[in-house]
Structure 1
Amino acid sequence: MAPSNLNAKKYVISTAFAATLALTPVVGSSVLANAGEGSSEGDITYEESNLPNINAEQSSETETPSATVNSSLIQQGDSGSGVEELQSSLQNLGYSSSNVDGIFGELTAQDVRNFQSDQGLQVDGIVGPATSEALGNPVEAAPEAPSSEEASEPEADEGELVIEEVDNSDDSSETEAPATASGANIVAAAESALGIPYQFGAYTPGDPNPSALDSSGLINYTFEQVGISVSRTHAGMWANDGVHVDSPSPGDVVFFEGTYDTAGASHSGIYIGNNQMIHASSGSGQMVVADMSIDYWQDHYLGAKSFQ
């Protein structure tokens, strides 16, 4: 669920904070900024995070469905009127090397295999729904293709100018459209970075196993895993990449300002749902999960963008 109070940005004060405001000295943003670009405020463990729930959901969605018995199959060893109808259909289509006797033996199985091969079906000698449908609507054999010489020499009347089209495109330049990065894939890529040490300025493009990352390096590393290129800095990503969203969804990037002495976006993380993000924590010294609902992150929240 997208955080309900993120749209209010840094002007929202939690109920607990408001209740103690009169008794507690006000902490200015200049003091909060000393926490560094990746504060450890709100850092939580994997078990406390939303990741176990996400992984459980993905696991249940990818489980292989149990096999069901298809009672409509006709195969070797069967007998009866269904086999007789099959043998009659094969005979009418010219695929009969056995009698129409209602017994599905090896000869009938071979007839079925021959038919399946000509129809482009799975050649297993078993008559299932696809083979049954093809028996009722067989595909006619394609006309024989002309020879390469005939194909390359267009017919023309004497004195007629023939213009032949030539494809000058380079097949090697044709590339498949990149697969759309899903929120689940982005979260999984960010999760794979958990535990990598934090180091300011650390990020090497193309390195699948970085020894260290900084906060914007984590975002670059994550989206590189799903085939998306983003700007190197938080400010660059905030200004140039993706589209702004009112409320973040898992896989979106959440941005913060004033986390250290710099103008504009100064920190970001990968949103994983339930008011949580994966980010680079200078305080914890590694890539971790943080609870964004605490006052520190709410006070510095800038907005969210989708890079998908």
Structure 2
Amino acid sequence: MAPLNLNAKKYVISTAFATTLALTPVVGSSVLANAGEGSTEGDITYEESNLPEIQEEQSSSEEAPSATVNSSLIQQGDSGSDVENVQSSLHDHGYSSSNVDGIFGDLTEQDVRDFQSDQGLQEDGIVGPATSDALGTPVESTPSSEESSESESSEDGITIEEVDNSESDESTESNETDNDNVGPQDGGTENVSASNQAIVDAARSALGIPYQFGAYTPGESNPSALDSSGLINYTFDQVGIDVSRTHSEMWANDGVHVDSPSVGDVVFFEGTYDTAGASHSGIYIGNNQMIHASSGSGAMVVADMSVDYWQQHYLGAKSFN
């Protein structure tokens, strides 16, 4: 994409600062330096976002008894036999706040956190390989490609990674056409892989957390505040992926560049405030939408990237998965 006129941006931003200073006599220097980070442009409500549709697709996939998020993570919102096994093991170990009903809710998550604390594990409320091993309940593995190609379902249930070919021919042709273009405007609804679904779930869990510049502590499972790059760090920490601390470092060092974003990828922007290179990013959730940290709204929210502001500042997308 054509380089942005950073000098012009500095002039516009400095004008906005002058207005802010006129209306607010005392403003901290750190706030001024990041006043443009996470603009409220395009911020939308949860109900207006693509998240309910993603959740509906996930719930439909989980109607089979053994459907879970993926072969390595079981977390809040999941259901099925894997969750039931976890709950049974928790009961066997003396953690019995929840019922053995195959539904991973608040009580099950708290039991997992209590168990992790007693076992010296990371207290994130997510049953990954280490927690599963400690519980003695290894998560069911994904069927082999040969097994999954024979039928959409098996005795073990349906995996989220499987695609119903009878319904996807038209959408596949459409996606192939879309991929010829570049930019955030290309993304729409799509079949979400289990690992990318886990990324979206982690980002969704941060919605409503207050915005605070510089806020993020690695490994913190319940942050009281996050900044824009802190949201990305928090999200990928929840799924066991290490990323760099700043937007510019993530853009330079982490993941792989993609022509157009898929659900669970990271979308980057430049010139959102007076700094060189990547200055903001968010978790892409399809339909030209992202979960990001909005300093203007003061929280983690969903934004519509099709508005002029985000289109003009769009830098590119990367997959960290």
C-alpha contact (below 8 Å) 1:181/1:227 kept by paired residues: no
Match of 1:62 in 2: 62
Question: For residues 177-228 of structure 1, what are the alpha-carbon distances to aligned partners after superposition, in whole Å with 9 as ceiling and x for unaligned?
Answer: xx99711110110000000000000001111000000000000000000000
**Cα distance in 2 between the residues matched to 1:61 and 1:32:** 47
Match of 2:299 in 1: 286
**Cα distance in 1 between the residues matched to 2:40 and 2:263:** 21
Match of 1:78 in 2: none
C-alpha contact (below 8 Å) 2:13/2:274 kept by paired residues: no
Q: In terms of mean alpha carbon deviation, does 29-38 or 240-249 score higher?
A: 29-38
Question: For residues 27-46 of structure 1, what are the alpha-carbon distances to aligned partners after superposition, in whole Å with 9 as ceiling and x for unaligned?
Answer: x5342685611111110000
Match of 1:184 in 2: 197
Letter of the aligned partner of 1:262 in structure 2?
T
Q: Does 1:29 align with 2:19?
A: no
Match of 2:170 in 1: none
C-alpha spacing 1:183/1:10, structure 2 compared with 1 (3 Å): farther
C-alpha contact (below 8 Å) 1:10/1:302 kept by paired residues: no
Gaps of 5+ in 2: 17-34, 67-137, 143-192
**Cα distance in 1 between the residues matched to 2:267 and 2:64:** 34
Map 1:199-218 → 2, pairs under 5 A = 199-218=212-231
**Cα distance in 2 between the residues matched to 1:215 and 1:233:** 9
**Cα distance in 2 between the residues matched to 1:249 and 1:242:** 13
**Cα distance in 2 between the residues matched to 1:53 and 1:224:** 25
Q: Does 1:240 align with 2:220?
A: no
Shift of 1:243: 0.2
Map 1:62-211 → 2, pairs under 5 A = 62-64=62-64, 182-211=195-224
More helix by share: 2
C-alpha contact (below 8 Å) 1:9/1:301 kept by paired residues: no
Question: For residues 79-132 of structure 1, what are the alpha-carbon distances to aligned partners after superposition, in whole Å with 9 as ceiling and x for unaligned?
Answer: xxxxxxxxxxxxxxxxxxxxxxxxxxxxxxxxxxxxxxxxxxxxxxxxxxxxxx
Map 1:198-277 → 2, pairs under 5 A = 198-277=211-290
Match of 2:50 in 1: 50
Give the TM-score normalised by structure 2.
0.51
C-alpha spacing 1:51/1:264, structure 2 compared with 1 (3 Å): same
Looking at CA atoms only, which structure, 1 or 2, has the larger radius of gyration? 1
Question: For residues 108-158 of structure 1, what are the alpha-carbon distances to aligned partners after superposition, in whole Å with 9 as ceiling and x for unaligned?
Answer: xxxxxxxxxxxxxxxxxxxxxxxxxxxxxxxxxxxxxxxxxxxxxxxxxxx
Shift of 1:65: 5.9
C-alpha spacing 1:9/1:43, structure 2 compared with 1 (3 Å): farther
**Cα distance in 2 between the residues matched to 1:10 and 1:49:** 30
C-alpha contact (below 8 Å) 1:234/1:268 kept by paired residues: yes
Q: Secondary structure of 1:219's match?
A: helix
Letter of the aligned partner of 1:206 in structure 2?
G
**Cα distance in 1 between the residues matched to 2:201 and 2:212:** 22
Shift of 1:64: 2.4
Letter of the aligned partner of 1:57 in structure 2?
E
C-alpha spacing 1:298/1:227, structure 2 compared with 1 (3 Å): same
Q: Runs of at least 4 residues of structure 1 off by over 3 A? A: 8-11, 32-35
Gaps of 5+ in 1: 1-7, 12-27, 67-175
Greater relative contact order: 1 or 2 (C-alpha under 8 angstroms, separation 6 or more)? Answer: 1
Work out the percentage of aligned pairs sharing the same amino acid: 79
Letter of the aligned partner of 2:64 in structure 1?
T
**Cα distance in 2 between the residues matched to 1:276 and 1:200:** 23
Give the TM-score normalised by structure 1.
0.53
Question: For residues 277-299 of structure 1, what are the alpha-carbon distances to aligned partners after superposition, in whole Å with 9 as ceiling and x for unaligned?
Answer: 00000000000000000000000
C-alpha spacing 1:222/1:181, structure 2 compared with 1 (3 Å): farther
C-alpha spacing 1:292/1:41, structure 2 compared with 1 (3 Å): same
C-alpha spacing 1:10/1:51, structure 2 compared with 1 (3 Å): farther
**Cα distance in 2 between the residues matched to 1:60 and 1:32:** 46
